[in-house]
């Protein structure tokens, strides 16, 4: 049985998998951008799960505030991700060879 603490080595005949750091980060940012609509749906649906108390937290006003604060957070996250994302052409151009 192989030692679980032994360092991993590539299989003979196949090179090890290497992902460039920049392209890896771009892919993860694109994945995050694809998940933002799912987060938006969750933000819209969470107030439906709240129990409505006539005296305490959980009324219609709290639900509206929650939705709009969540909407603002989504806008800020989208702006942050969009700022960090580059197009494929920009990622491929080397700054030393650019005209």
pLDDT, position 98: 47
Three-state SS sequence of 3-19: CCCCCCCCCCCCCCCCC
| pLDDT range class, residue 96, cuts 50, 70, 90 | very low
Burial class (CB in 10 A: 0-12, 13-18, 19+), 67: middle
pLDDT, position 39: 93
Whole-number Å distance between alpha carbons of 84 and 33? 11
pLDDT, position 14: 64
Q: Which tens digits make up the pLDDT trace of 19-57?
A: 677 788 888 899 999 999 999 999 999 888 887 766 666
Q: Which tens digits make up the pLDDT trace of 61-73?
A: 888 899 999 999 9
């Amino acid at each position: 049985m192989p030692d679980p603490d032994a360092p991993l080595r590539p299989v003979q005949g196949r090179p090890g998998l290497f992902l460039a750091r920049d392209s890896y980060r771009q892919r993860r940012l694109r994945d995050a951008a694809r998940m933002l609509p799912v987060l938006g749906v969750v933000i819209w649906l969470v107030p439906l799960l709240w129990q409505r108390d006539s005296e305490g937290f959980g009324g219609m006003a709290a639900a509206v505030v929650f939705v709009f604060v969540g909407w603002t957070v989504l806008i800020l996250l989208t702006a942050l991700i969009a700022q960090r994302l580059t197009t494929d052409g920009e990622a491929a151009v080397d700054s030393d060879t650019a005209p």
